[in-house]
Amino acid sequence: MPVSFRTGIALYPADGAEAGALFRNAEAALRTALSASEAYAFYSPQITATMAQRAALEPRLRRAVDRNEFTLHYQPNVSAVQLRQLGFVDSVAQLLQGEVGPEARELEITESMLMEDLEGTVRALRSLSDLGVHIAIDDFGRGYSSLRYLAKLPIGTVKVDRSFISAMTADPDSMTIVATIISLAHSLKMSVCGEGVESEEHSRVLAVLRCDTMQGYLFSRPVSAAQIAEQLRRAALPRQERAR
């Protein structure tokens, strides 16, 4: 049976001059490694601040859960923690045994997450692609991914980071970056989605640049379960009935 372990690291004397302080800080780093599913984590002062914030927040969250004060809003995303879980691909396979059509099977990952654990991410993405899942890279252009790997991965959609979209009408450099990403993705047989579209001008420029799809507050904000059900119902209606 395979055995795994996690390690928290604190260094003397920067992280503590006494054994007790070093031990506490190493333990804090260990909790960070566990929560992030990383093999190890080094202590930093930010960890202590984060732990203090979490300690103050957790009882408030528990009270909110007990009082049913949370509302779920829908946005696509797969987190780094999810993708690294051993049973994640199997969980997705189980979900897809229902009535979800191939056109609705899309998962998003961020560009930075793609490069954090490249070997493991590639394995997971190929397994998901074999299930018929469409893969989209979110926030593209903000990280440092390798174009060599981008061309080899089973990616169907590149989503241009909103920072470039919001700046492109005023900044020629941002406009050039957006146009280049669209051209690159199309040459690799990928579709392109422009993120953060908040104005008709954004929409018009992206259409001229041959961006395939767009998303942003111009079209809809994140919505509740009841609202998404109504939106999907109306989208399935004939156009004449939708306009009523």
| Residues of the chain with confidence (pLDDT) below 70 | 1-2, 74-76, 80, 98-104, 112-117, 142-149, 239-244
Q: Token pair for residue 39?
A: 């093999």
Q: Token pair for residue 14?
A: 């920067």
What pLDDT does 204 receive?
95
What pLDDT does 9 receive?
93
What pLDDT does 88 receive?
85
- 140 forms bridges with which residues in the sheet? 160
Q: What is the pLDDT of residues 222-239, one digit of tens each?
A: 877 788 788 878 877 775
What pLDDT does 4 receive?
78
Domain regions of the chain by residue span = 7-66, 73-235
What pLDDT does 134 receive?
86
Q: What is the pLDDT of residues 116-131, one digit of tens each?
A: 667 777 888 888 888 8
Looking at the chain, list the stretches that DSSP marks H as alpha helix, in order from N- to C-terminal side.
19-35, 45-66, 80-84, 88-95, 111-116, 118-130, 147-152, 162-167, 172-187, 200-208, 225-235, 239-242
Which fold would CATH assign to domain 73-235? TIM Barrel (3.20.20)
